[in-house]
């Protein structure tokens, strides 16, 4: 006996992206103002339906590319939301993805979507269950940030210790001690000092560092665990 699939219902399945960015001070998310019904004019996450010949990862990548023009974005699947009435007009499942992008890269935000970077803490109410999605994404981001070096996805290639600390403080919404933070990071031994200085923030200038991915991967393969 072969399974007869025609007896089973089919579903609309979308992806929604929680796009994180960091401006040196605050953690932000990229939101779009809907220019179509339902809920036209309200804020939401950027999303799109999954096509019949693409995976959800591909759909999320496509959606991000459409909005930002960027490729090779850090992307991770979060969760599938399947409440029947999560959207009022039809039963649509949605797989949420969170993305980390370097806000300084010259992004060509597609005008057509009315997209805007908003501070995470000041984000407006979103439609449907998108507020939940953001909450879940922040929780995941915190967990990941403490066990994987994903923070660097949010920073420019070269950054100061202060930038890095600001980032972690923004992610965890918590202040850290400068000396403890620096020595913790240094003890990980996965940054290289470029010996260049950023002179914009002080007279003395502060050293610019780079994440050494090769070294990190080598250490990982030797049993090293990132932990911050």
Out of 25, 41, 51, 139, point to the residue binding a copy of itself (CB under 8 A): 51
Instruction: Give the residue, chosen from 85, 122, 214, 227, that forms a contact with DNA under the rule CB under 7 A.
Output: 227
Q: Please choose, out of 34-42, 101-109, 155-163, 201-209, the segment that lies near a copy of itself by the rule CB under 8 A.
A: 34-42
226 is a site residue for DNA (CB under 7 A): no
41 C-beta neighbours (distance < 10 Å), count: 10
Q: Is 174 in the site for a copy of itself (CB under 8 A)?
A: no
Inter-residue contact 67 to 115 (CB < 8 Å): yes
124: its two tokens: 């407006």
The whole-angstrom separation of Cα 168 and Cα 176 is 9
Cα distances (Å, whole numbers) of residue 26 to 2, 9, 163, 193, 224 = 55, 44, 11, 24, 30
Contact pick of 26, 44, 56, 102 for a copy of itself (by CB under 8 A)? 56
Minimal distance in Å, beta carbon 202 to a copy of itself? 38
- Closer to a copy of itself at the Cβ: 143 or 196? 143
Nearer to DNA among residue 26 and residue 131 (C-beta)? 26
Q: Exposed, middle or buried, 6 (CB in 10 Å: 0-12/13-18/19+)?
A: exposed
Q: Which residues bind a copy of itself (CB under 8 A)?
A: 1-3, 5, 8-13, 36-38, 49-57, 77, 79-80, 82-84, 89-93, 95
């Amino acid at each position: 006996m072969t399974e007869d699939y025609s007896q089973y219902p089919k579903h609309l399945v979308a992806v929604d992206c929680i796009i994180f960015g960091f401006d040196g001070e605050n953690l932000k998310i990229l939101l779009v103002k809907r220019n179509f019904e339902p809920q036209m004019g309200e804020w939401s996450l950027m999303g799109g339906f999954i096509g019949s010949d693409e995976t959800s990862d591909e759909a999320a990548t496509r959606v991000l590319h459409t909005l930002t023009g960027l490729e090779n974005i850090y992307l991770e699947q979060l969760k599938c939301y399947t409440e029947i009435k999560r959207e009022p007009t039809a039963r649509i499942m949605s797989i949420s993805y969170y993305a980390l992008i370097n806000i300084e890269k010259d992004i060509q935000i597609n005008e057509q979507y009315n997209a805007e970077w908003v501070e995470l803490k000041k984000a407006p109410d979103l439609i449907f269950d998108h507020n939940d999605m953001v909450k879940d994404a922040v929780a995941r981001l915190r967990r990941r940030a403490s066990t994987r070096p994903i923070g660097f996805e949010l920073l420019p290639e070269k950054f100061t210790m202060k930038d890095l600390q600001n980032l972690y403080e923004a992610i965890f919404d918590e202040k850290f001690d400068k000396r403890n933070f620096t020595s913790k990071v240094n003890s990980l031994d996965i940054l290289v000092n470029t010996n260049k200085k950023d002179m914009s923030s002080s007279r003395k200038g502060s050293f610019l560092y780079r994440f050494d991915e090769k070294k990190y991967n080598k250490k990982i393969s030797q049993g090293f665990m990132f932990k911050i």
